[in-house]
C-alpha cells in the first residue's frame, strides 16, 4: 500500500506520487495538490535523522543526512513580558543549549530535505531552485552535504546570504539575476534554465515536499503542547509556510490524539511590501497586482527582504486566502521600526538573536496582544523562522558560494537568453 497519495484540492483527482508532479492533469483553474497520508496517526521516529523524525507525515520513502529540526519550548521571558500563560516558541535556527542545530540559522532547512529526499535515486537531472536567500542557503548546504546536483538562482543582492560553515562541494552552482533584479526575476531566470535538457524545477509552493517539511513546525508544537495551538503566528513571503501550517492542523485533527485548538492563522508581512495583507484587507480572493517598479521600490525599503515574493500562491485553491478564511485568521502589516523593536525584545527576554523575518512575526504578536486578538490563557505558537545567526557566525568560519554566472535584467528578458544559457550549461 502506498504511504501517501496526492490529491487535487479543486477536483479531488488522486495521483500516486511520481516525484515530479506539481499540478493536476485536469485543465481547470490553478489548484494545489495536497499529500494525503494513509496512516493518520503521527508516530515520532527518533531513529531517523533530524526532521525526519516526522517521517509519517512527510512525502518521502527515504531519508537523507540532516541534523536540523524544529524545537518548541514554553516561553517564560517574552511570555511574562506580554502576560501570556501559554506562549510556545517554535525555534528554527542555531541554539545548541536548546538542541537546535539548523546550521543555516533558518527554517528553510525544513523545506529542502523532504524535497530532495522525494527525488528518485540516480535521477540523472539537476534540480533548479530560485531563492531570495534563506531557501537557497538551505538547499545549497544540504545538496553539498549529500552530494546532490543543484543550480541555485538568486538576485545579485542576495549572493552574500549563500554561506556555509563547511566548504561547498562542486556539485552546487550559483547563478545571479544581476543589477536591480529581485526574487521574481530570479524565478523567471530559473524557469528558463529548467527548460534546458537535464534540468527540472523544484516547484516552490506546488511541491508537497516543501509544504509538508514546513508543516513539521506545527507538528512539533502540538507534540510539545499536547494539543493543537489556538493561534499560530508566522511571517510570510510566498505564504507557503501559512498554507503548510493549516495543512498540518488538518492532519492533527485526523490523528485524534491531540486536544483540538481552533488554530487561527496569524500571518504577517513587512511594510511597505504587503501585497497579501492589502489583498486580504480588501476582502479580495484575487491578488491585488502591483506594478513592477512600484513593487521593487517597496521591496528596497523593507528590512526583511526574504519576505518579498511578487507572485505568491494567494488566490489558488488551497492557497493563502483559502487557509486564512478556513482558520478565521488575521493578516498584519509590520513596519521596520516595529520589526527592529521586536527583535530587540525577543533577544532581551529569550536570550537569543533572531532574523528580521522572525522579528516581523514577533511584531505581529505584539499587535495581536495590544488589539486583544489573543487572550492570556490561549495556547499560542510563535514560529521563529530564523535565529541564532549572530551566534553561529561568531562560532564558525563561513564559506561563501561564488557565482558561476551573472545574467542582467535585460538579458533575462531577451529572446536570445535560452541560447546563451544552453551554451553555458551544456557541460554542467
Give the other-Cβ count within 10 Å of 244's Cβ: 25
The HSE-up count of residue 49 (CA atoms within 13 Å, CB side) is 15
**Cα–Cα nearest to 327, from 235, 383, 244:** 244
Cell numbers describing residue 6: 496526492
pLDDT at 428 over 60: no
Bridge-based pairing state of the strands 379-387 and 86-95: parallel
Mean pLDDT in the chain? 95
Task: Give the contacts of 350 (CB within 8 A, at least 6 positions apart).
Answer: 75, 77, 78, 89
| Residue ranges per structural domain of the chain | 71-104+209-392, 119-206+398-425
Q: How many angstroms separate the CA atoms of 251 and 44, rounded?
A: 15
Task: Give the contacts of 81 (CB within 8 A, at least 6 positions apart).
Answer: 345, 349
pLDDT for 142 equals: 97
- Give the percent of the chain with pLDDT over 70: 99
pLDDT for 427 equals: 55
pLDDT at 342 over 70: yes
Q: What is the average per-residue pLDDT within 249-268?
A: 92
Q: Is it true that 71-104+209-392 and 119-206+398-425 share their CATH fold?
A: yes
Confirm if 255 and 40 have CB atoms less than 8 A apart.
Answer: yes
Locus of grid cell 494545489: 32
pLDDT for 1 equals: 57
pLDDT at 193 over 70: yes
**Predicted confidence (pLDDT) per residue in 96-106, tens digit:** 999 999 999 99
Q: How many angstroms separate the CA atoms of 306 and 285, rounded?
A: 23
Phi-psi region of 399 (alpha: psi -120 to 50; beta: other; left: phi over 0): beta
**Predicted confidence (pLDDT) per residue in 153-167, tens digit:** 999 999 999 999 999
Q: What is the DSSP letter of 259?
A: B
pLDDT for 175 equals: 95
**Predicted confidence (pLDDT) per residue in 201-258, tens digit:** 999 999 999 999 999 999 999 999 999 999 999 999 999 999 999 999 999 999 988 8
**How would residue 307 be classed by pLDDT, with cut points 50, 70 and 90?**
very high
pTM of this structure: 0.95
pLDDT at 262 over 80: yes
CATH class of 119-206+398-425: alpha beta
Give the other-Cβ count within 10 Å of 197's Cβ: 8
**Fold for the domain defined by 71-104+209-392:** Rossmann fold (3.40.50)
**Predicted confidence (pLDDT) per residue in 59-85, tens digit:** 999 999 999 999 999 999 999 999 999
pLDDT for 129 equals: 96
**Predicted confidence (pLDDT) per residue in 344-390, tens digit:** 999 999 999 999 999 999 999 999 999 999 999 999 999 999 999 99
pLDDT at 426 over 80: no
Amino acid at each position: 500500500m502506498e504511504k501517501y497519495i496526492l490529491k487535487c484540492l479543486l477536483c479531488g483527482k488522486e495521483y500516486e506520487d511520481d516525484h515530479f508532479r506539481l499540478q493536476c492533469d485536469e485543465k481547470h483553474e490553478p489548484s494545489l495538490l495536497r499529500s494525503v497520508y494513509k496512516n493518520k496517526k503521527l508516530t515520532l521516529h527518533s531513529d531517523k535523522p533530524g526532521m525526519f523524525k516526522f517521517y509519517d507525515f512527510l512525502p518521502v520513502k527515504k531519508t537523507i543526512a540532516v541534523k536540523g529540526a524544529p524545537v518548541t519550548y514554553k516561553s517564560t521571558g517574552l511570555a511574562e513580558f506580554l502576560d501570556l500563560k501559554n506562549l510556545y516558541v517554535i525555534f528554527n535556527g542555531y541554539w545548541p543549549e536548546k538542541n537546535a542545530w539548523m546550521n543555516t540559522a533558518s527554517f528553510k532547512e525544513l523545506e529542502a530535505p523532504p524535497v530532495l529526499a522525494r527525488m528518485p535515486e540516480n535521477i540523472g537531472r539537476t534540480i533548479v531552485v530560485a531563492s531570495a536567500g534563506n531557501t537557497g542557503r538551505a538547499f545549497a548546504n544540504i545538496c553539498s552535504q549529500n552530494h546532490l546536483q543543484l543550480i541555485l538562482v538568486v538576485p545579485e543582492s542576495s549572493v552574500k546570504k549563500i554561506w556555509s560553515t563547511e566548504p561547498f562541494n562542486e556539485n552546487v552552482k550559483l547563478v545571479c539575476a544581476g543589477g536591480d533584479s529581485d526574487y521574481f526575476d530570479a524565478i523567471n531566470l530559473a524557469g528558463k534554465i529548467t527548460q534546458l535538457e537535464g534540468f527540472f524545477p523544484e516547484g516552490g509552493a506546488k511541491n508537497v515536499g516543501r509544504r509538508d517539511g514546513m508543516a513539521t513546525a506545527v507538528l512539533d508544537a502540538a507534540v510539545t503542547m499536547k494539543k493543537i495551538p489556538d493561534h499560530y503566528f508566522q511571517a510570510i513571503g510566498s505564504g507557503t509556510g501559512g498554507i503548510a501550517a493549516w495543512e498540518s492542523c488538518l492532519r492533527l485533527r485526523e490523528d485524534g490524539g491531540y486536544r483540538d485548538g481552533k488554530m487561527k492563522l496569524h500571518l504577517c508581512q513587512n511594510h511597505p511590501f504587503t501585497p497579501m495583507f492589502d489583498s486580504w484587507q480588501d476582502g479580495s480572493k484575487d491578488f491585488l497586482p502591483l506594478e513592477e517598479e512600484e513593487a521593487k521600490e517597496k521591496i528596497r525599503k523593507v528590512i526583511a527582504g526574504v519576505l518579498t515574493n511578487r507572485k505568491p500562491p494567494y488566490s489558488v485553491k488551497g492557497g493563502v486566502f483559502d487557509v486564512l478564511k478556513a482558520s478565521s485568521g488575521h493578516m498584519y502589516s509590520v513596519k521596520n521600526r516595529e520589526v527592529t523593536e521586536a527583535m530587540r525584545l525577543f533577544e532581551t527576554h529569550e536570550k537569543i538573536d533572531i532574523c528580521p523575518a522572525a522579528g516581523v512575526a514577533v511584531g505581529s504578536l505584539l499587535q495581536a496582544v495590544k488589539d486583544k486578538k489573543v487572550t492570556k490563557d490561549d495556547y499560542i505558537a510563535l514560529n521563529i523562522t530564523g535565529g541564532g545567526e549572530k551566534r553561529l557566525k561568531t562560532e564558525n568560519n563561513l564559506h561563501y558560494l561564488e557565482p558561476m554566472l551573472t545574467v542582467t535584467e535585460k538579458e533575462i528578458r531577451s529572446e536570445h537568453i535560452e541560447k546563451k544559457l544552453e551554451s553555458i550549461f551544456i557541460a554542467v
